Structure 1
Amino acid sequence: MNNEEIFCTEFEFILPRGLLDTEGNLHRHGVMRLTTAKDEIMVQRNRDAQENSSYAVIVMLSRVITKLGSLTEITPDLLENLFSKDLAYLREFYNRINQQGDVYIPVQCPQCQSQFQVELALAGE
């Protein structure tokens, strides 16, 4: 096992529906990185997030999503156009990778007792 397998900081995802950009292009495949302390601080300093605590999720996601389809500049304004199902998916994905470090869970075969990891499917996949 190399260091990248031990400590991964970026995770790929596929949105259930996808984000439609202003030109009508659908973006479903993306990459999210782990949150840093700076991300937390920047969200707290964001005026829109201060005025509306539920908007903080959009601001945080705009900081940690590094790519969405062909888009590499992810802004809160862009993410405001997410479908509700995709926003719920991204919240769950964000929580999973930042609390557990990955999207895999250890499991054990009930018949042979072998232990292995399985990717945990997120709601909407």
Structure 2
Amino acid sequence: MFQTEFEFTLPKGYLDADGNVHRKGVMRLSRAMDEIIPMRDPRVKANPAYATVIILSRVILQLGALDEVTPMTIENLFACDLSYLQKFYRQINELEIEAEQPAEQPSPSTIEAIDLP
């Protein structure tokens, strides 16, 4: 059996309305639908970069003591934490291209769905 869930620790952490900081979390591997469904969302149609927010909210299973991770949670992350999660997402889903590895490149649509402009 292969690993489908990965623990992470945010550099700064999500600061909730009560002043609690949530840093430790779990992200699962992405499925095709995690990248397809956001493309139907009107917020993504208006701003393609918003796909990142929706995708991350779908694949993050746990963040600290939060009951759920919503798009609003992702919207309120510090920029360094959002960047960290984007890199982590690409890493665990094997979307990173190693310089010394002449492997197939992921399709541009997959990369653009998670990259911010």
TM-score, scaled relative to structure 1: 0.73
4+ residue runs of structure 1 moved beyond 4 angstroms? none
**Structure 1 stretch displaced more, 43-52 or 89-98:** 43-52
Two-structure CA RMSD over aligned residues (Å):
1.0
Alignment partner for residue 63 of structure 1, among 34, 41, 58? Answer: 58
Task: Give the whole-Å Cα distance in 1 for the aligned partners of 2:68 and 2:42.
Answer: 20
**Number of residue pairs matched?**
95
Q: Deviations over 1:19-65 (max 9, x none)?
A: 00111110000000011111112111111112111111011000000
Structure 1 residue aligned with 2:90, among 73, 95, 109?
A: 95
AA paired with 2:68? E
Greater strand content: 1
Note the residue ranges of structure 1 that are not aligned, 5 or more in a row. Answer: 101-125
**Higher helix fraction (1 or 2):** 2
Determine which structure has more spread, i.e. the larger CA radius of gyration. 1
The one of 44, 49, 53 aligned to 1:49: 44
SS class of match (1:72): coil
Matched position secondary structure for 2:48: coil
Structure 1 residue 72: deviation in Å? 3.4
Give the corresponding residue for 2:16.
Answer: 21
Q: TM-score, normalised by structure 2?
A: 0.78
- Taking CA–CA contacts closer than 8 Å with sequence separation of 6 or more, which of the two structures ends up with the larger relative contact order? 2
Matches within 5 A, 1:30-41: 30-41=25-36
Percent sequence identity over aligned pairs: 54
Q: Distance in 2 between matches of 1:92 and 1:61?
A: 11
Residue ranges of structure 2 left out of the alignment (5+ in a row): 96-117
